[in-house]
Structure 1
Amino acid sequence: MSARELVPGDVVVLEAGDAVPADCRLVEAQEAAVNNAALTGESVPVARVAQAVPPGPSLEARNCVWMGTDLVAGTGKAVVLATGTGTEFGRIFRLTAAAPRRKTPLQRQVAVMARRVAGLALVSGAVVFAVRAPSGQPFVDTFVFSLTSPSSYRSSPRPSPVSHSCRSQPCRSWPSTSARTYCPLWRSARNRWSPTS
């Protein structure tokens, strides 16, 4: 029988290594111990007995085993008390499902930044459209240009990096200003043949 077919009142037999399929009350236990880490966070297995225990919190009852835990030692026979959402795991699920979902501080900051960037892009696009519209350009071209211009801004004013081919062979043509600035071979040659050297 699968765990889905269990109903309160059924009797289950548990052995070491079995997952507890429902909330159960032990009626027989031979050196039984369960791992409650998934439910209570306890890292050490807890012994279970079949005798009656004093009244107290349900999770502390030593004669009960709970769905989602594992029997790590011994054997036992138990009567099913609750299944599905009626178990302790189901109660925790209902509490977490009913809790309001709130955005994290990072999510709120990202949302604010996204709104600011979108607003800036709209304003800059509107300015570009207002400046370009009186020039007599076609309306469609002006509109498309105003939409794409905000995305063409560069975050850094530095020129594009120069190809590194000059590292393997000498530059045979007069390099541009940017190449003379960023090419290590050109800087080395300039320092070597400068009039002051």
Structure 2
Amino acid sequence: MVAQSDSSNLHHVVIVGGGFGGLYAAQKLAKAPVKVTLIDKRNFHVFQPLLYQVATGGLSPADISSPLRALLSKNKNTEVLMGEVTEIDPEQQTVKLRYRDVKYDSLILATGVTHQYFGNDWEKNAPGLKTIENALEIRRKVFIAFESAEKEPNPERRKDWLTFVLVGGGPAGVELAGALAELAHGTLKEDFSEY
């Protein structure tokens, strides 16, 4: 963490977002003659490429999460703040959080991405896979489907319970499809007899 008296005259770079982009920016600025403040609504970084493993029960959330403070602990010029940005005032060069305002000289917005439903209410039945919460919701739905299929006497309805539709053929979708197949035909095969 930066001592206020040592850094008050330094160029202040504020980074909003502790994902790959924000973390990389902070690490690149570690030896620069600047003060860095990284702000994220969570105090941990999620290794998103492994979210599919959390969704299928192969890993726990802790396995793919690392505290931001620990990841940046060697950066002597970096302060990590947990908070949600409520407003950015470019004229005043201020990032506003609920509990304080943070002035900046340079601002990096690295807030990441989210899934888009184009105004449709599909998230309930088709959750995205961008956060740990998304992965845990998918896991919950997958295991409920297996449990429901196990007690379903009608073979056609049982088949319906065990049919999963993935939208998106990017890395997360492909990895999730493979992990679901492995789960169904390997990992859970001996635990469930009715499919």
* TM band (smaller chain): under 0.3
What's the TM-score once normalised by structure 2's chain length? 0.20
What's the TM-score once normalised by structure 1's chain length? 0.20
Report which of the two structures shows the higher radius of gyration computed on alpha carbons.
Answer: 1
Structure number with higher relative contact order (C-alpha < 8 Å, ≥ 6 residues apart): 2
